[in-house]
Structure formats: structure tokens, C-alpha cells
Amino acid sequence: MLKISGGFLLGVMAALLLVWSSIGGLMFSERLSPYTVEETTARIQQNIQAAGNGWSISGLRNPAKPIEAEGGNVLPVLLIEACSAQYSGPILKDDGVRFLSLLMPCKISVYKKSDGKVYIGYLNAGMIGSLFGPLVGDIMAKVVVDQQGFLVMDPSKPAPALIIPKTGGESGGASGAEAGC
């Protein structure tokens, strides 16, 4: 009996370890960009503005800036913040899921790795949404569709200019109240 209990416990622990080690890959996605950090960011910003559904750019952050200010050296990173009041409104009005404001605005990270390539990192909104019931799941399913459109890199279009939102700026000066959702 002890061998059976021990084997069962070992199997449960192995399953939990497998789930724990793969959860990051389920929650976040990463894809390669053919452009520089700045051009990739500008193309995503342009796509957000063209998306409709109430989307707007609420911020552009440079999380490496404080490290650089203290003399550190970090590869380029830009964090695009976008929000749709159409999607965030129902979540913010519902006390049961208002804590999900932690995920607002939607963020897309554009960064260079030590391999010299530029990557786009983003939250798997569909998977996250499905964890919180039908209201959030239905909304996040729509966000996923829009988000995929944000990431389209059409080489036939000229490179747009980088947009520095007045409320956020690269240094991250906006408070939550100023930056919108």
C-alpha cells in the first residue's frame, strides 16, 4: 500500500511540476519581428490606431531607461500600452472581475535579445480570459482577434513614425488616472 501511495504522490508531484514549468509558455507568447525595435513598435502602434473597436494608445514605456540612468546597459525594450473602453468598460463595471484592471491597459513588449533579433512579447489574452468566466472570456476572445491584427507586419506599407503619447511618454510619466484604462 505504501508503494502505491508513494507512486501516486510522486505522479501528482511530477504533473504539478510539468504544469508549473509550462504555465509561462501558456500565458505569454513571443514572436520574431523582421524590423528594428522602433519600427516594430511604430507598426504595432499604427495597427492599434487602425483597429477600431475603441482602441487607443495609452502609453509607451521604456523599462530600460531607469537602469540606463543608473549606469546600467540593457538591450532596447519598448512597452506599448493600448486600451479599448469598449472592452474594458464591462470588466471595470463588474465588482466580481474588477481586479482584472491589473491587466489594463493591454501591453505589448518589443525588445531585442542578445542574439541580435527583435521580438514581440504579449499576453495570451484568450487563455487568461477563459479562466474568469463567460463575461471576461467573451471579451478577451474579441481582444485576441484585435491583438492578432496589431501584430501584422505588412512590408508593403512604409514604416510609420513612432507615436509618443502625451499622457505616457517614453519615460512612463503618466499615472493610471491620466493614462486611461
In the chain, % of residues over pLDDT 90: 56
Contacts of 177 (CB under 8 A, 6+ apart): none
Q: Which of 62-66, 89-93, 124-128 has the lowest mean pLDDT?
A: 124-128
Per-residue pLDDT reduced to its tens digit, 68-115: 899 998 999 999 999 999 999 998 999 998 998 888 888 999 999 999
The answer, yes or no, to whether residue 132 has pLDDT greater than 80, is yes
Can you tell me the distance from the alpha carbon of 43 to that of 147, in angstroms, rounded to the nearest whole number? 13
Low-confidence winner among 3-12, 45-54, 64-73, 140-149 (lowest mean pLDDT): 3-12
Q: Which three cell numbers stand for residue 85?
A: 473602453
Under CATH, which number does the domain 27-170 receive?
3.30.310.70
Eight-state DSSP code of residue 94: -
Other Cβ atoms less than 10 A from the Cβ of 102: the count is 6
- The pLDDT tens digits for 3-12 are 666 566 566 6
Query: What does the pLDDT look like over 97-110, one tens digit per residue?
Result: 899 888 888 899 99
Among 17-26, 56-65, 154-163, the minimum mean pLDDT is found in 17-26
Q: Domain extents for the chain? A: 27-170
- Looking at the DSSP bridge assignments, the partners of residue 59 are 81
What is the average pLDDT value for the chain, to the nearest integer? Answer: 83
| Grid cell at residue 126 | 484568450
156 backbone φψ class: left, alpha, beta (φ>0; ψ -120 to 50): alpha
Instruction: Tell me which residue of 17, 60, 66, 24 sits closest to 42, measured CA to CA.
Output: 60
> What pLDDT sits at residue 21?
53
Cβ neighbours for 142, distance < 8 A, ≥ 6 positions apart: 53, 87
